Amino acid sequence: MPEPRQRLLFTDEIVGFEKDLIHLHDGSVRAVVATSSLNFNAMAPEQQARTIRAYRDLLHADSGPLQIYVRVQRLRPDRAAPDDEPEPTEFGNRREYLAALTASFIGTHLAEMPVFSREVFIVLASRPNARTRLRTIVYRFSRRASDEPRVALEQGIPLEHRIEILIEQLRLMGIRGRRMRSAELRTLFDGLYGRRAEQGGDRRITFQHRVGSLELEGRWYASLVVERYPGEEVAAGWLLPFLGFKGELHLAIHVVPLATDRTLDFLSRKIRDLRADQIVSSEAASVEANAFTTLPDAVEMHQSLARNEEKSFALALYLTVGADSPAALRQQLTALQACCRRMMLRVGQPYFQMRQALLASWPLACDELRREQLVHTGAVASLLPWLQEDLADGAGHYWGHNRETGGLVVFDPFDETRFPNANIAVLAHSGAGKSYAAATLILSGHTRGVGAILLDPEAEYGGLVEGLGGTYLSLAAGSGHAINALDLVRERDQESPFDQLSDIIDLIALMCGGLDAVERAQVEMAIRAIVFSPDRVAVLADVWSALRLAHPASRAAAVLERWVTGDLGRLFSAPTNVDLSAEVVGFNLRDLKEEVVPPASLLLASWLWSVLRRDRRPRHLLIDEAGLLLEQEPIRRFLVRLARRIRKYQGSLILVSQNPGDFFETKDG
């Protein structure tokens, strides 16, 4: 049961929160689904079309009233920014100091430069009594006030089932939906009503009505009602100016599905009246400006409903701005009205219904204003609110600045509620700062306890690695460092045991300039004969010896000899002597000869992949100039497999390249 009346939480609207539901005083309940962001505007046209189709299916699948609630608000730092920068002596180690320094920088920036975040919620309403409730949300088709046909659609589907359907439809759109829990709902409405914990839970909160505005707990609000929508056909995404509003904005889209047969009956009468009006106006030589557009629109909607191509809905759109003072509120309201004019929207202020308008703008699915208009599915689908990826979190990796807002870009790539994996591609032309951007990610991740392993072909990250207290190793012939390629197959991977053997064969193929089918079989037999020998630690030279002994005339054995003797042998055919215990490890590949870079890179990546599987913790694996390596088919296959599986081992693959075509022009791009 909801909380009793003597423990009133807010105002006359909400009784309490229980079982992840909002209990209202009229006996009805509400469920709220929080949604992830979606960068609809950046999608390819075919992807946009698929998203719109999925959104239409969502509207057709739901059987009751729903509200789409969009909140735009200024992002505040998690903690107040200190007056002075932190000092290194205040912290026990350098990582803590760098973390405090980064937090101070982000907090100061958020305090000085407004950064706004967008959140989208969907509210589903249930009705305790269908007949009574239907009369309160009925769309007024009839001209006679006493005759209110019940046209609101009611199929009696339980609220819990509607939530499951909604989340599944959102998934098909590429959006993650999550039902908000009771504690989250309480926090949400605490913030909306301005209720602070220190004020107590039973204190009455009331609205103070003003001329053209409303005051609530020291904050001022003004609302607008959309009375007319753009007269021309608009594409999905036309709500974008609202999402970029520089201020507190509450946008509510109330959607009520209507019974098609009742809507067709109303449209038939409306078309008849419009045709009669058109005839009379023509005879009087006075035709209204919209007379030639209203009738065709009504006929088109009637035909699409009759063909069952569209559904009918009652749609209402409300906008509310908030500010700290009446003067600031007037500025915000003026800016919002100007935005509406640019979008060809006619809006009005409900001067004597500001409280009802504010509540209609909040995620309560309560529309007491009922400024509804009859629309079809296509019109509702054009109000898609998931248009841009929101990249302004209070905590996470620091990525840089947002070119559109000027604010910081801060988010956590390991957040599984937002991203399917933590893989990152850094693509830009030469000199654009790719390495600097990648180094920023490594530094920011280090301050948050995320390790890093770097493959550095141009020796650009040495200062960063050493500055973070990491290990920077130079791999080259005669450097003294070695990695045993056969370590890969000694530690068997239970999930893909054959991939490791294939990696060794691919490595030898790179060294030998390719292997035909016969040579691959010969190399595989030699590896199997050597690698599981208990006598000693096998190295690549042992494979060469076994191959030469079994096939003296083998071309592969003749070429492989160069790689297992001399300086190359000390690099590729010796027991591993590299220590990865440091949090940040970099491998300098600059001194490698050009022909050695592909085999060395594949060996390093394969060996590091085995390390990531063995020691599972959040880590970045950065490969710079990855485009050059993708020219080699074995490396490309390995990176594809690595990108798909590294998430399971808490890893993140970062690929840096100056040529996007290296990725997108391949079948696995």
Q: What is the pLDDT of residues 374-386, one digit of tens each?
A: 888 888 999 999 9
For helices 497-511 and 555-563, angle between their N-to-C axes, nearest 10 degrees = 90
Partnered with residue 223 across adjacent β-strands are: 320
Per-residue pLDDT averaged across 24-48, rounded? Answer: 88
| Predicted pLDDT at 347 | 94
At the topology level of CATH, where does 14-75+115-194+204-258+311-382 sit?
Vanillyl-alcohol Oxidase; Chain A, domain 3 (3.40.462)
Q: Which of these, 40, 102, 37, 119, lies nearest to 408 by C-alpha position?
A: 102
Query: Residue 534 pLDDT more than 70?
Result: no
C-alpha to C-alpha distance for 15 and 8, rounded to whole angstroms: 6
| pLDDT per residue as tens digits for the range 178-188 | 999 999 999 99
Residue extents of the structural domains in the chain: 14-75+115-194+204-258+311-382, 261-307, 410-663
- Between 507 and 620, the more confident residue is 620
| Predicted pLDDT at 147 | 42
Place of tokens 């009331």: 206
Q: Is the CATH number 3.40.50 carried by domain 410-663?
A: yes
Residues 6+ apart with CB under 8 A from 246: 114, 116, 335
- Between 293 and 158, the more confident residue is 158
| Residue 163 phi, psi (nearest 5) | -65, -45
| Predicted pLDDT at 242 | 92
- Between 502 and 127, the more confident residue is 502
Structure tokens at 50: 């698929």
Helix (H, G, I), strand (E, B) or coil at 95: helix
- Between 387 and 75, the more confident residue is 387
Does residue 618 contact residue 652 with C-beta atoms inside 8 Å?
yes
| Predicted pLDDT at 81 | 55
| Predicted pLDDT at 69 | 97
CA pseudo-torsion sign 442, 444, 446, 451: negative
Per-residue pLDDT averaged across 612-632, rounded? Answer: 81
| Predicted pLDDT at 292 | 42
Does residue 34 contact residue 177 with C-beta atoms inside 8 Å?
yes
* Beta carbons within 10 angstroms of residue 373's beta carbon: 15
| Predicted pLDDT at 599 | 84
Per-residue pLDDT averaged across 430-448, rounded? Answer: 89
| Predicted pLDDT at 535 | 62
The terminus-to-terminus CA distance of the chain in angstroms comes to 54
| Residue 35 phi, psi (nearest 5) | -120, 155
C-alpha to C-alpha distance for 156 and 191, rounded to whole angstroms: 33
C-alpha to C-alpha distance for 216 and 219, rounded to whole angstroms: 5
Inter-CA distances, 284 with 281, 288, 590, Å:
5, 11, 87
The secondary structure of 476-500 as a DSSP string is STTSS----TTHHHHS--SS-HHHH
- Split at pLDDT 50, 70, 90, the class of 320 is very high
Angle formed at CA 585 by CA 584 and CA 589, multiple of 5 degrees: 145
Does residue 286 contact residue 354 with C-beta atoms inside 8 Å?
no
Does residue 249 contact residue 311 with C-beta atoms inside 8 Å?
no
What dihedral angle (degrees, nearest 10) is formed by the CA atoms of 152, 158, 164, 165? -30
Per-residue pLDDT averaged across 441-466, rounded? Answer: 89
Q: Is 607 left (phi over 0), alpha (psi -120 to 50) or beta?
A: alpha
Percent of the chain with pLDDT over 70: 81
| Predicted pLDDT at 667 | 63
Does residue 207 contact residue 63 with C-beta atoms inside 8 Å?
no
Structure tokens at 4: 């009793």
| Predicted pLDDT at 416 | 78
Sort 83 into a burial class: Cβ within 10 Å, 0-12 / 13-18 / 19+: exposed
Query: Residue 304 pLDDT more than 80?
Result: no
* Beta carbons within 10 angstroms of residue 598's beta carbon: 19
The secondary structure of 353-416 as a DSSP string is -HHHHHHHHSTT---SS---EEEEHHHHHTT----S---B-SSSEEEEE-TTT--EEEE-TT-T
| pLDDT per residue as tens digits for the range 470-497 | 888 887 776 777 778 777 666 655 555 4
| Predicted pLDDT at 142 | 39
Q: Which of these, 34, 38, 11, 37, lies nearest to 24 by C-alpha position?
A: 11
Query: Tell me, what DSSP letter sits at residue 93?
Result: S
- Split at pLDDT 50, 70, 90, the class of 327 is very high
| Predicted pLDDT at 325 | 92
Q: What average pLDDT is seen over the chain?
A: 80
Structure tokens at 52: 């719109």
C-alpha to C-alpha distance for 636 and 628, rounded to whole angstroms: 10
- Between 645 and 321, the more confident residue is 321
| Predicted pLDDT at 646 | 87
What stretch of H or E contains 178?
Answer: strand 177-179
Structure tokens at 549: 């002994």
- Between 284 and 19, the more confident residue is 19
Sort 553 into a burial class: Cβ within 10 Å, 0-12 / 13-18 / 19+: exposed
Query: Residue 233 pLDDT more than 70?
Result: yes
Q: Do domains 14-75+115-194+204-258+311-382 and 410-663 have the same CATH topology?
A: no
C-alpha to C-alpha distance for 325 and 248, rounded to whole angstroms: 13
Query: Residue 7 pLDDT more than 60?
Result: no
| Amino acid occupying residue 592 | L
C-alpha to C-alpha distance for 511 and 506, rounded to whole angstroms: 9
- Split at pLDDT 50, 70, 90, the class of 662 is low
Lowest mean per-residue pLDDT among 35-49, 128-142, 336-350, 454-468? 128-142
* Beta carbons within 10 angstroms of residue 403's beta carbon: 7
Query: Residue 370 pLDDT more than 70?
Result: yes
CA atoms within 13 A on the CB side of 334: 6
Structure tokens at 610: 């085995």
| Predicted pLDDT at 78 | 62
| pLDDT per residue as tens digits for the range 164-174 | 999 999 999 98
- Split at pLDDT 50, 70, 90, the class of 82 is low
